[in-house]
Amino acid sequence: MSEQLVGVFGHVDTTVDAIERLRASGFGDMTVYTPVPVHEIEDAVERERPLSRVRLFTLIGGLTGTSLGFFLTIWSALKWNLITGGKPVVSIPPFIVIAFELTILLGGLSTVLGMLLLGRIPRLSPSPAFDPRFTRDKFGVAVRCPAGETARVRDILTQTGADEVRP
């Protein structure tokens, strides 16, 4: 059985202290809520995580767009030959424009798709640790720990300067 404790912090440095202390004590399973992305907190939280895979979505989407653009233009030009001035039917320079625009279009859309999928958005119901103050000016550290360890976690959160600790 694991339980969850949430510490509400008013400052960046105290939040970072809490994250570091918790991790040092072996409570690595936590979610940090911030009103804005903060470098110091990101540094502390993301040290052991791989880079976001959103860029993979962008790459795949973009390349799909490029190939779709060239495929559509070349295929349709060959399907209905429109020979003007004896010039090649497959005229690459104008097709680059279409391929470029489709690269950006599909690249952009798949980036957003990636963000939504990886960030698990939309969420239908708020998570129990969330507090409306986290979108205003408070920082939250939600820690999952074994049922017997809540006292230790509560101590760490209080000692590092949490304004409030709640389950």
Partner 1 sequence: MSDQRLTTSEPTFADVNRDVIRTLSSPGNLYFGWMSFVALVLAVGILAWTYQIWVGVGAAGKRTPQMWAMYITTFVFWIGIGHAGTLISAVLYLFRARWRTSIYRGAEAMTVFAVLTAALFPLIHAGRMWFAYWLLPYPNQRSLWPNFRSPLVWDVFAISTYLTISVVFFIVGLFPDVAAMRDAATGRKRKIYAVLALGWEGADDQWRHYRRAYGLLAALATPLVLSVHSVVSWDFAMALVPGWHSTLFAPFFVNGAIFSGFAMVLVLILPMRYYFHLYAYITDRHLDAMAKLLLVTSLVLTYFYICEAFTSWYSGEEFERASLFMRATRQYAWAFWMMYLCNCLVPLVLFWKRARTSVTVLYTVSIFVLIGMWLERFNIIVPGLAFDFYPYTWGTYVPTVTDSAIVVGSFAWFFIFFLAFIRVMPSVSIVEVKETLAHPFKRPRPTR
Asked if 60 is part of the footprint of partner 1 (rule: CB under 8 A), the reply reads no
> In the complex, what is the shortest distance from the CB of residue 19 to partner 1, in angstroms, rounded to a whole number?
10
Residues 6+ apart with CB under 8 A from 52: 118
Given the complex with partner 1, which of 20 and 151 has the nearer CB atom? 20
User: Under a CB-based contact definition with an 8 Å cutoff, are residues 67 and 41 in contact?
Assistant: no
Residue 45 binds partner 1 (CB under 8 A): yes
C-alpha 72/C-alpha 65 separation (Å) is: 10
33 lines the binding site for partner 1 (CB under 8 A) = yes
Distances (CA, A) of 99 to 71, 76, 96: 9, 14, 5
164, 39 Cβ separation under 8 angstroms? no
Does 81 bind partner 1 (CB under 8 A)? Our answer is no
Other beta carbons within 10 Å of 74: 16
Query: Where along the sequence are the contacts to partner 1 (CB under 8 A)?
Result: 10-14, 31-38, 41-42, 45-46, 49, 51-52, 54-55, 58, 62, 72-73, 76-77, 79-80, 82, 84, 91, 94-95, 97-98, 100-102, 104-105, 107-109, 111-112, 114-116, 118-127, 130, 132-137, 161
